[in-house]
Amino acid sequence: MLLTGTFLLSATQCDAQIFHKKKKVNKSTTAENTAEPDKVLYDKAIEDVKHGRHEVGRLNLQTLINTYPDSEYLAKAKLAIADSFFKESGKANMTQAIQAYKDFVIFFPFMKEAAYAQLQVAMAHYKQMEKPDRDRTEARAAEDEFQTYLQKYPNDPLEGKAEQHLREVQEVLAEGDFRVGYYYYVKGDKKAAEFGTSQVDYIYEQPPAVLFRDLLPRYISVQLFRAMLESEAAEHAARMTAMDSATSNASDMIDSLTLAMNRARQAKITKEIIEIVSGAAAAQ
């Protein structure tokens, strides 16, 4: 009896060990496989953008937006698409980035990322801003967008960065106005007064002495640069005049030589005709 009980107890323990060893983990319930498909798609797209595969990343993000319109990653995907265009840079990509950031601000105005999107709109224009003596469309757009950002998000952590860039933009615009006004002033045109009395909202933080100390070297540099530009322009003008004269002389020579060649050819043809006619007459 005791032997039978011992045997049964051993068999039970053995079956329990076998059952424990044969128990397998259900791989379909691991954290990796239970991740939501929209999150997997978003993470893959972000990884693609991070490694410079912008088009592939944007395609995956757009797939997420179209396939999962109620996803919690919808806003992040839209912002990531805008960031991808911004990082890729270029005129066309910057235009796409600006529109994408503006769409984000419109559709998600109460998210904390809306301030970042508005700042990125301004930064996209800022990066395309040209020199003071060039087209100032992007500079004016950057000024408007920075001011919009500062008005809508006055306590944002990036406020200091926006103020600094706004000052830089305003300096470019001011220098451009100065150059245009000075140009009309040198010509004696009354339009110079329009730039001198135009309503400009600029804030000067330094005292006059500091401003004068900083502006005087810049003014001298501008004048020296202007003198060099005028010298360069005069040189090119002289070259253009010389080349125009050479072209005119060459044209006259071509016409003269063409006329001489035509006369010689016509004389030769006439002579050959006379010889043929004379030979024919002699033969008769």
Concatenate the DSSP letters of all residues of 18-73 into one string: HHHHH----GGGSHHHHS-HHHHHHHHHHHHHHTT-HHHHHHHHHHHHHH-TT-TT
Helix (H) or strand (E) holding 250: helix 208-283
What is residue 215's predicted lDDT score, i.e. its pLDDT?
85
Count Cβ neighbours within 10 Å for each residue of 196-233 and write b for 16 or more, e otherwise: eeeeeeeeeeeeeeeeeeeeeeeeeebeeeeeeeeeee
- CA-nearest of 102, 152, 98 to 125 is 98
182: amino acid identity, one letter: Y
Whether this model's pTM surpasses 0.95: no
What is residue 28's predicted lDDT score, i.e. its pLDDT?
45
Q: How far is CA 69 from CA 72, 73, 80, 111, in A?
A: 9, 9, 16, 17
The residues near 1 (Cβ < 8 Å, ≥ 6 apart) are: none
277: amino acid identity, one letter: V
Q: Are the beta carbons of 45 and 57 closer than 8 angstroms?
A: yes
- Strand, coil or helix: 209: helix
What is residue 121's predicted lDDT score, i.e. its pLDDT?
95
What is residue 10's predicted lDDT score, i.e. its pLDDT?
53
What is residue 132's predicted lDDT score, i.e. its pLDDT?
84
Q: Are the beta carbons of 90 and 60 closer than 8 angstroms?
A: no
Query: In a structure prediction context, what are the per-residue pLDDT tens digits for the chain, which is 284 residues long?
Result: 444 444 444 544 544 444 444 444 444 444 445 568 889 999 999 999 999 999 999 999 999 999 998 999 999 999 999 999 999 989 999 999 999 999 999 999 999 999 999 999 999 999 999 888 888 899 999 999 999 999 999 889 998 899 999 999 988 888 887 777 777 777 776 666 665 555 555 555 666 777 778 888 889 999 999 999 999 999 999 999 999 999 999 999 999 999 999 999 999 999 889 888 888 888 77
